[in-house]
Amino acid sequence: MSDTALVLRSTRVVTPQGTRAASVAVNDGTIDAVLPYGAAVPAGARLADFGDDALLPGLVDTHVHVNDPGRTEWEGFWTATRAAAAGGITTLVDMPLNSLPPTTTTAHLDAKRAVARGKAHIDVGFWGGAVPGNVKDLRPLHDAGVFGFKCFLSPSGVDEFPEVDQEQLALALGEIAGFGGLLIVHAEDPGHLAAAPAPHGPKYADFLASRPRVSENDAIAGLIGLARRLGARVHVLHLSSGDALPLIAAAKRDGVRITVETCPHFLTLTAEEIPDGATEFKCCPPIREDTNRDALWAGLADGTIDCVVSDHSPSTADLKTADFGAAWGGISSLQLGLPAVWTEARERGHSLDDVVRWMATAPAALVGLDRKGAIEPGRDADFAVLAPEETFTVDPQALQHRNKITAYAGKTLHGVVRSTWLRGRRINDGTTLAEPTGALLERTRRA
Ligand SMILES: [Zn+2]
């Protein structure tokens, strides 16, 4: 028994076999065993008893824009990972764009890792980027440990990360399939976006009309066709259009290798409630109508949607002007994803087991992190302790995000994160965050 031995006890431990009273034995940062609640604590082991607070695996957020280096006034590894730790997240995977440089070559990946080192309060991995002309960089990035490759089918919002056309998409996906990699796609069809009225002015309805559902539906249909033809593995990012769900469900039934994520804002906010000029609600694809939100919840309930991840994409306040055409598109929610989703999930009759599957287990599986995302022996001792019935009102100033802008300001949410644990070490006690001890993760290499 090492001096790092620890037992965590709760009447509500969320495990892959369900929620039950249990004691979780931890040694050297790894879960050793899930024991009966009253199991004796070995001599020399510390006991942390959480009573009726729920013990969850640390969440895994595979969609975070850290923007570091290059746009660190928007966010950075120090602030993003502190916000994540405060929100019960113990692993994040950083998107390849909005930093300068973008993660499109191994030299750029090295630059990202160099700035992240020593600043990561939680474990951090990296996506690579697939852009026009970098097919030759994909295999080296894969070998260097990125978890997969992101591409856009329509303009990304930043000039240094251009979208791919259909020919470039097929080229990149063919290359990625050749080494067993994963392509993650911002799926909005550029033709439909160009044909829609351009976004302008302070009215949310005008912005919504500029990003119609059909652009998502058709882009996803095309992607399914390509994945089917190439036998390739693809993942649809931030699904907003509920109309695409039957298409995706059918593709999954046919054995197409496709997974899908949606985001807290699509599940908890509605177009109807967004005030004019409130561009903290602007993101692409957009938050749609309440009826669409119901469809997304149905997609989660029947398993068509696999994951719920933040798409945390902050900017400085000056870029969030009152004009929906000009304002930066991105919603900041890293610290609030768990309570936001849980608040709506419990209203709709879902359990914490469901939330953990969507926000920890499935995202970990998406990126092949088999030591993350569940409370079971052999996995990292990463935990979030949650008071599920307790409520709080969102105060932007209390957020650890670099820019205190949030679409959730003033909302009362269920679920207070009491503490967060990374490999058996408490990194957030509910008021104070520990010094950074996060690791930079590489995709698990398999024989
Ligand atoms: Zn994003």
The 182-186 sheet, strands edge to edge: 128-129, 149-152, 182-186, 233-236, 258-262, 307-308
Residue 446 structure tokens: 């398999």
Name the β-bridge partners of 44.
none
240-284 pLDDT, tens digit each: 999 999 999 999 999 999 999 999 999 999 999 999 999 999 999
Helices (H), 166-320: 166-178, 190-195, 204-210, 213-230, 245-253, 264-268, 290-301
Name the β-bridge partners of 47.
7
CA 6 – CA 399 distance, rounded (Å): 30
Distance 130 CA to ligand 1 centre (A): 14
Distance 308 CA to ligand 1 centre (A): 13
Distance 239 CA to ligand 1 centre (A): 11
DSSP state of 272: G
Q: Collapse the DSSP code of 55 into the 3-class scheme (helix H, G, I; strand E, B; otherwise coil) and give the result.
A: strand
Residue 102 structure tokens: 């973008």
């929906």: which residue's tokens? 324
CA 240 – CA 218 distance, rounded (Å): 13
Residue 3: per-residue pLDDT: 58
Distance 430 CA to ligand 1 centre (A): 28
Amino acid at 441: L
CA 419 – CA 437 distance, rounded (Å): 16
Give me the helix-helix angle, 135-143 and 166-178, nearest 10°: 30
Q: What are phi and psi of 396, to 5 degrees?
A: -50, -35
Q: Do the beta carbons of residue 76 and residue 107 sit within 8 Å?
A: no
Q: Do the beta carbons of residue 185 and residue 120 sit within 8 Å?
A: no
Residue 407 structure tokens: 């679409």
Distance 333 CA to ligand 1 centre (A): 12
User: Block means of pLDDT (10 residues each) for the chain, length 447 residues?
Assistant: 82 98 97 96 94 98 95 93 98 95 97 96 98 98 98 93 97 97 97 94 95 98 98 98 98 98 98 95 96 98 98 88 86 95 98 98 97 98 98 95 91 98 96 95 73
Residue 317: per-residue pLDDT: 84
Distance 296 CA to ligand 1 centre (A): 18
104-156 pLDDT, tens digit each: 999 999 999 999 999 999 999 999 999 999 999 999 999 999 999 999 999 99
CA 351 – CA 29 distance, rounded (Å): 28
Q: Do the beta carbons of residue 150 and residue 96 sit within 8 Å?
A: yes
Residue 327: per-residue pLDDT: 85
* Cβ neighbours of 209 (radius 10 Å): 14
CA 393 – CA 316 distance, rounded (Å): 23
Q: Do the beta carbons of residue 336 and residue 312 sit within 8 Å?
A: no
Q: Do the beta carbons of residue 123 and residue 427 sit within 8 Å?
A: no
> At CA 373, angle to CA 307 and CA 233, rounded to 5?
50
Distance 29 CA to ligand 1 centre (A): 31
Distance 41 CA to ligand 1 centre (A): 44
Amino acid at 173: L
Distance 64 CA to ligand 1 centre (A): 7
Name the β-bridge partners of 89.
59
Distance 317 CA to ligand 1 centre (A): 18
Residue 342: per-residue pLDDT: 98
Output the CA torsion 332→335→340→346 (10° steps): 160
Distance 250 CA to ligand 1 centre (A): 26
CA 281 – CA 362 distance, rounded (Å): 26
Distance 32 CA to ligand 1 centre (A): 36
Residue 2: per-residue pLDDT: 56
Distance 301 CA to ligand 1 centre (A): 23
